[in-house]
Amino acid sequence: MESKSGYGVLNISDRVILTKDGQTKSKWNLPEFFKRYRISYHTENSWKDDCFQSAAKGQEFVIHADDEIIDWVKCLF
């Protein structure tokens, strides 16, 4: 397993911004495969035709990641 530090400053880039272009910060551009996973504080109604509408409850949510999600995250960084 590749070792990565658990801290630091991330370089900002379009690759790591979840907000859908031209939309408010609560509308995310997530890969289609995320529809198969439960994201805390959300239901299947959170998925709209063109985005994922995040809950107004906060900015940090929980998802039980498997290899598919972990690989996607690794590609971001």
Q: How confident is the model at residue 20 (pLDDT cuts 50, 70, 90)?
A: very high
The per-residue pLDDT for 15 is 85
Mean pLDDT to the nearest integer, 6-12:
78
pLDDT one-digit tens code per residue, 39-77: 999 999 999 999 999 998 777 899 999 999 999 998 887
CB atoms near residue 73 (< 10 Å): 10
